[in-house]
Amino acid sequence: MAATVEQPRLVVHLVHQLDVGGLENGLINLIRHMPPERYRHTIVCLKDYTEFHAHIKERGVEIISLNKREGKDFGHYMRMYKTLRALQPDLIHTRNLCGFEGQLVAALAGIKLRVHGEHGRDMSDLYGKRLKYQVLRRVLRPLIGHFIAVSADLEHWLIDSVGAEPERVSQICNGVDSVQFHPRLGPPAAVGPAGFMHDNAFVIGSVGRMVDVKNYPTLVEAFLRLIASPHPAHQRLRLLIVGDGPERAECLDMLTRAGASHRAWLPGERTDIAQLLRTMDLFVLPSLAEGSSNTILEAMATGLPVVATAVGGNTELVHPGFTGILVPPRSPDLMAAAIADYCRIPEMGARHGMRARSQVIARHSLPAMARGYLAVYDSLLGHAPCAGTEPPRR
């Protein structure tokens, strides 16, 4: 009698929206590196998804939109319930604050195995202490079989503030493709409008959604202070911010009012991030809060030194004096001083960037990230672990 081939288990990933962003890219990378003979995947979006991730559908991944309206939309709970009942997944994996309510709907829909991931906080709850959200998390916490945090900061917060049992929390670092994101070979390619790049330019770069929590006006302010100074090295400076969002218009207006538009390029959303990173000499992230920044990891893999705010998981990725410099949030003076150090001492940037890439290769590979998630899923589903995976750790 022929042996019965076991059907791959179905995992539903519940996210707010599938658009350009670190969490979303991390999810796509995770699906790409999970063994297809063990797990199938469906992505359920509370709102919608863009064509940016349409290629994942070609891999057999179904993407479902619940079309949640802005504000209160109680109807989306019923749509979520019906969707989950129809899918009948073996496991559901929710993410961030919006996912907590999904845990209750999943339990009502009869999904017994439930995982929740924390990837970072937004402007409405920078430190995870807002009372109504804390009550929601504590009330729904018993429904969650296992928590995943992308940084030690979030891991400690889940245990100390949310009350998660330590043995039910795993920290799994984000991974990055160090083949796609690699240092440039030779001089940087000319990018941007005419006159933006020149042979001696020093490009300060950043990549991310231009929303309030990313705080890009602080970076623009630091740049404007530098180019207004008389130091001759600062005349080389150029600013490149890749991404779109409501703060892009404010940043462009700041540059226009200062008469510095010709020294900056804010091209909006792009798909050639790896190539644009290779035109930069320094990566800067001015966020007010972070989980574990995928863009920092991509910059480090590209061999760039990093100036970042000392918030969340940034302090675990950037080692001051070794791979970069950390500064307090909302401190344009200190950010400008850190940028100036790299502009004036180019050998320091080369040294820190080389160490940053070595750190990424050693600790933040995509296969290592996938093995961490695989170990959690296998443990909950009673699978024998795959070769090379380890049980989830505290």
pLDDT tens for each residue of the chain, 394 residues long: 455 557 899 999 999 888 877 788 889 999 999 999 999 999 999 988 877 666 676 678 999 999 998 878 889 999 999 999 999 999 999 999 989 999 999 999 999 999 999 998 888 888 888 999 999 999 999 999 999 999 999 999 999 999 999 999 999 999 999 999 999 988 888 899 988 988 789 999 999 999 999 999 999 999 999 999 999 999 999 999 999 999 999 999 999 999 999 999 999 999 899 999 999 999 999 999 999 999 999 999 999 999 999 999 999 999 999 999 999 999 999 999 999 999 999 999 999 999 999 999 999 999 999 999 999 999 999 865 554 455 444 4
What span, in angstroms and rounded, lies between the C-alpha atoms of 254 and 214? 16
Regarding whether 369 and 328 lie in a shared domain, the answer is: no
What span, in angstroms and rounded, lies between the C-alpha atoms of 121 and 51? 25
Regarding whether 266 and 134 lie in a shared domain, the answer is: no
Tell me the sheet residues that pair with 65. 45
Regarding whether 342 and 327 lie in a shared domain, the answer is: yes
Give the model's pLDDT for residue 394. 46
Total domains in the fold of the chain? 2
Give the model's pLDDT for residue 54. 64
Give the model's pLDDT for residue 18. 85
Indicate whether 197 belongs to any domain.
no
Residue type, 329: P
| Residue 284 in tokens | 């800067």
CATH (domain of 19): 3.40.50.2000
- Residue 200 DSSP one-character state: T
Regarding whether 309 and 372 lie in a shared domain, the answer is: no
Indicate whether 191 belongs to any domain.
no
306 three-class SS: strand
CA neighbor of 224 nearest in space, from 248, 189, 252? 252
Residues 6+ apart with CB under 8 A from 135: none
Tell me the sheet residues that pair with 94. 14, 116
Give the model's pLDDT for residue 73. 84
CA neighbor of 266 nearest in space, from 247, 284, 283? 247
Give the model's pLDDT for residue 384. 54
Give the model's pLDDT for residue 53. 67
pTM across the whole model: 0.90
Regarding whether 114 and 220 lie in a shared domain, the answer is: no
Residue type, 17: Q
339 three-class SS: helix
Domain that holds residue 262: 202-363
- Whether 313 and 293 have beta carbons less than 8 Å apart is answered as yes
The residue written with tokens 């991310």 in the block is: 208
Give the model's pLDDT for residue 386. 52
What span, in angstroms and rounded, lies between the C-alpha atoms of 119 and 273? 21
Regarding whether 271 and 165 lie in a shared domain, the answer is: no
Give the model's pLDDT for residue 50. 76
- Whether 208 and 243 have beta carbons less than 8 Å apart is answered as yes
Regarding whether 345 and 369 lie in a shared domain, the answer is: no
Regarding whether 235 and 103 lie in a shared domain, the answer is: no
Indicate whether 323 belongs to any domain.
yes
Regarding whether 369 and 359 lie in a shared domain, the answer is: no
Regarding whether 154 and 230 lie in a shared domain, the answer is: no
